[in-house]
Structure 1
Amino acid sequence: VVLQVFSQEYINLLLSVYFFVLGVLALSHTMSPLMSRIFPASFPNKQYQLLFTQGSGESKEEIVNYEFDTKNLVCLLISSVVGVWYLLKKHWIANNLFGLAFALNGVELLHLNNVSTGCILLGGLFVYDVFWVFGTNVMVTVAKSFEAPIKLVFPQDLLEKGLNASNFAMLGLGDIVIPGIFIALLLRFDVSLKKNSRTYFYSSFLAYIFGLGLTIFVMHTFKHAQPALLYLVPACVGFPVIVALFKGELTEMFRYEESSPEEAGSTDESSESEKKDQ
């Protein structure tokens, strides 16, 4: 409907500017921990604060209060260069850098609190993905029409054309973020077991790689777009469940539930007050 009302050229221009801003911020945030390790200890790192307030006196209200340092500014500068490169050239490497930054930030920001919720979410999106790819051409049309870093692209003619490749296979960011938050949940479950092992994390991570490889294999075999979650969901859910059955921890895995930060904070406060009363 949107493509029928507005020109695709204007939509792509609007999306390019929008994702330029978001991409620069997301990539800068993703780069910061890595750059902090790269910078030498002698690097002159100064602290800054961006403060916007509204009103004056007692009615003064903070709108923005953001603290950053010189390292963050360097990351922002590098990200801006990538952003300009993407804005001008729409190069697939710049697209993938932004896409990976969005995916990593998505996994960091989104949380599942228990395995059951994760299975329900993955199951629902499994049906959704299969329907919109096999049942209609909407998903494929949108992915091909919009020039935005909402997907990772993999050049199929890289060996022939090098960095100027033009024939791409695509992987939607949702196919990374949704399984990613489930895998992150299993990592936290591993930590909660206090066994100094990452069995469920590694099994689900390997399952993701297996499912992604199977997706690519089927896509090349049948020469047709494939819903990645059709293969990723059974793999990412099935492998950890099999491991849990083998280790006798299936019930424990499905009973595991995380408390929200607010609940954890209130629990800590109540425990401290109880200690004081004693």
Structure 2
Amino acid sequence: MSSEDNLQNVADVLPPSPPVFAFARLLEPQYLFIVFSALGIIWLGAHGSLRRPPSAAPAKPKNGEKKREEEKFTEGLVASDVIRFPLMLAAVLIGLYYLINWLQDPAILNKGLRLYMSIMSLAGLSALAGDVLDNLTSLVFPTAWADSKGQVHHIDPDRCCQYVIDKETGNQTVIKEKTTPLAGFFSSLVLSPFSRWFIWELRNLSTEEWTVRLVVYNKLLVKIELRLNDVLRFAIAGGVSVAYHLLGWDALSNLLSMALCYFSFMMISPTSFTIGSMVLASLFVYDVVMVFYTPFMIAVAKSIDAPIKLVFTSAKGASMLGLGDIVVPGMLMALALRFDLFQHYQRQTTLEPVELATETTTETNTTTTTTTTTQHRRVKATYVDTRGQWGNRFWTTPLGRLSPVRDATDAIAATAFPKPYFYASVAGYAVGMFVTLTVMLVFNHGQPALLYLVPGVTGSLWLTGLVRGEIKDMWGYTEDGSLDTEDVVVEVDREGRVVKESAGKRRDEVGEEGDKEEEGGKGESGDEKKGGDEKKGEADKGDKLEAEIEGIRNNLGPGKHELFLLSVTAPRAVMTVT
């Protein structure tokens, strides 16, 4: 984060206006665009930042699927950031101010910043474009949809059919009339065999991965797995970045700015409500000082023309909002949404009785007494990935309803969970934005937006926790990994309430131990296990492409080697559609 990220709202100098007219001016397009754009990118970024919460168990891969590596935040804030961030931002902002004065022509600096931001925004643009494409794909090709009676239809790409599940027996019944992967009204379309084959093939190409491998001298050097949407998102990101660098349009600058905000939500976590609130409080002080007591903030905001702010103009004037006024409170709002998801899975945690045996040996003799006690082990609900579920939510929510039907369990778990803390923070942010704009119009002076946004967001969150009696839960929630434990044994009272719990192992520690056991071969030395694997060959690993490489190598004859092999494996092809 750089100091430019905390630029404030600035309006053209206008004659003083009575307060009664300030409220009417809030309806002008440039101000409405500012508010809804900020709320929209925070909403998208918060949902895009959803990860498996520590209260949920990792999803087990289905038959034929490989285990997907979980995403983790690149940067987690710590307590020292409370002091480090304001000092760092102040140093950069003051440096930019004097650099602009020394150059006497901000156009030179703007050209360099445009080039730099065009390159740096590629990651954010590709992330935003990729998630948009994934949501559009899920809308066109969902995995389930509900009819007007509330019955859920499941789409099976393996058999190229749609089926329903009987609630009493659990048996699947294939619907012969629906032969396409389309949902709702479109599922009943009567198409030719070629058209049906083409739609199923298009679905596979859009939703499944391609594999690119490079083998040199019998060694696998490169292995890339990507989908069609991955190729498209990089193409879109590159096109937008080049267009902005050449044209410099405000619309493209705003798009790059939103992409940077979105990417920040994906990469950065406040770690806890306590650290996040403290960081916001320190930047609150920094913002007030830089706007009201120094010329640095507003001068730099007016001079720099780069994707570090949202700019909206109309016939009546212009309005600007710095990215820091979106990212800083937005990070805490995204944490609130992940806390809502944490609580959602925490409510689904069950207690499974287990018997624990304790052996005691007396000092006078060698007799051993075994005592068996019944305790309870926490069993976490399995996590449902949010990716690819927004289309399912849309198609399993009949008209007139706000949530999916009850049988659409995946869509409910992934998207329709209660969000009281996130909604409260959105309301607090909206109030803070309108207060910022009102004060700016009344006094006709740029305002430090964090002066109003920080109390609005943090106040709404902690007030919600106070009203719900969950301040202790908010205080204890953290994303540093300490809550992600396994095999936690607890003691419960007669009413089923937890009175004591043992410290379970962190899931990442369990994973490291499992990896060491696998490397050790459960008693075998590493060399012995490696030698055994070499004798079995690549085909025994279950990788079809590796088996193909091994087969080609064997067909070359003794002493010969595969010097170069470049292969591209496409998703499964649809052979026939009945």
Give the TM-score of the pair, scaled to structure 1: 0.81
Matches within 5 A, 1:256-267: 256-260=477-481, 267=506
Q: State the Cα distance separating 1:71 from its structure 2 match.
A: 2.0
CA distance in 2, matches of 1:115, 1:172: 23
- Alignment partner of 1:203 is 2:442: no
CA distance in 1, matches of 2:114, 2:213: 27
Please point out which of 507, 518, 521 is paired with 1:268. Answer: 507
User: Quick one: which amino acid aligns to residue 242 of structure 2?
Assistant: V
Matches within 5 A, 1:9-88: 9-39=107-137, 42=202, 44=205, 47=210, 67-88=225-246
SS at the partner of 1:169?
strand
1:99 aligns with 257
Per-residue CA distance 1:204-260 (angstroms, 9 max, x = gap): 111111111111111112111010100000000111222222121122212222224
Matches within 5 A, 1:1-278: 1-6=98-103, 7-39=105-137, 42=202, 44=205, 47=210, 67-157=225-315, 167-194=317-344, 196-260=417-481, 267-268=506-507, 270-271=509-510
CA distance in 2, matches of 1:65, 1:115: 40
CA distance in 2, matches of 1:65, 1:212: 47
CA distance in 1, matches of 2:257, 2:238: 15
Q: State the Cα distance separating 1:200 from its structure 2 match.
A: 0.8
Residue pair 2:128, 2:262 contacting (<8 A) in 1 also: yes
User: Quick one: which amino acid aligns to residue 185 of structure 1?
Assistant: L
Q: State the Cα distance separating 1:37 from its structure 2 match.
A: 3.5
User: Quick one: which amino acid aligns to residue 210 of structure 2?
Assistant: Q
Per-residue CA distance 1:37-90 (angstroms, 9 max, x = gap): 434660645736599xxxx99xx9x9x986544322222222333223322332
Q: 1:50 to 1:214 in 2, by over 3 A?
A: farther
Q: 1:254 to 1:155 in 2, by over 3 A?
A: same
**Structure with more strand by fraction:** 2
CA distance in 2, matches of 1:211, 1:65: 48
With a CA cutoff of 8 Å and minimum separation of 6, indicate the structure with the bigger relative contact order. 2
Residue pair 2:482, 2:506 contacting (<8 A) in 1 also: no
RMSD after superposition: 3.1
Query: Unaligned 5+ residue runs, structure 1?
Result: 161-166
Q: State the Cα distance separating 1:261 from its structure 2 match.
A: 8.7
User: Quick one: which amino acid aligns to residue 229 of structure 1?
Assistant: L
CA distance in 1, matches of 2:427, 2:448: 19
CA distance in 2, matches of 1:176, 1:66: 34
SS at the partner of 2:269?
coil
Q: 1:192 to 1:216 in 2, by over 3 A?
A: same
Q: 1:190 to 1:35 in 2, by over 3 A?
A: same
The alignment of Structure 1 onto Structure 2 pairs a total of residues equal to 259
User: Quick one: which amino acid aligns to residue 88 of structure 1?
Assistant: L
Q: 1:89 to 1:156 in 2, by over 3 A?
A: same
Q: State the Cα distance separating 1:5 from its structure 2 match.
A: 3.8
Q: 1:261 to 1:94 in 2, by over 3 A?
A: farther
Q: 1:25 to 1:248 in 2, by over 3 A?
A: closer
2:143 aligns with none
Q: State the Cα distance separating 1:125 from its structure 2 match.
A: 0.3
CA distance in 1, matches of 2:234, 2:244: 15
CA distance in 1, matches of 2:279, 2:475: 14
Q: 1:25 to 1:240 in 2, by over 3 A?
A: closer
CA distance in 2, matches of 1:12, 1:48: 41
Q: 1:271 to 1:23 in 2, by over 3 A?
A: closer
Q: 1:271 to 1:79 in 2, by over 3 A?
A: closer
Q: State the Cα distance separating 1:143 from its structure 2 match.
A: 1.3
CA distance in 1, matches of 2:223, 2:274: 38
CA distance in 2, matches of 1:224, 1:139: 12
Q: 1:174 to 1:65 in 2, by over 3 A?
A: farther
User: Quick one: which amino acid aligns to residue 135 of structure 1?
Assistant: Y
Which stretch has the larger CA shift, 227-236 or 182-191?
182-191
Q: 1:269 to 1:252 in 2, by over 3 A?
A: closer
Q: 1:137 to 1:259 in 2, by over 3 A?
A: same
Which stretch has the larger CA shift, 181-190 or 93-102?
181-190
CA distance in 2, matches of 1:70, 1:168: 40
Q: Return the index of the structure with the highest Cα Rg.
A: 2
Q: State the Cα distance separating 1:23 from its structure 2 match.
A: 2.2
Which stretch has the larger CA shift, 227-236 or 71-80?
71-80
User: Quick one: which amino acid aligns to residue 506 of structure 2?
Assistant: T
Q: 1:261 to 1:180 in 2, by over 3 A?
A: farther
SS at the partner of 1:184?
helix
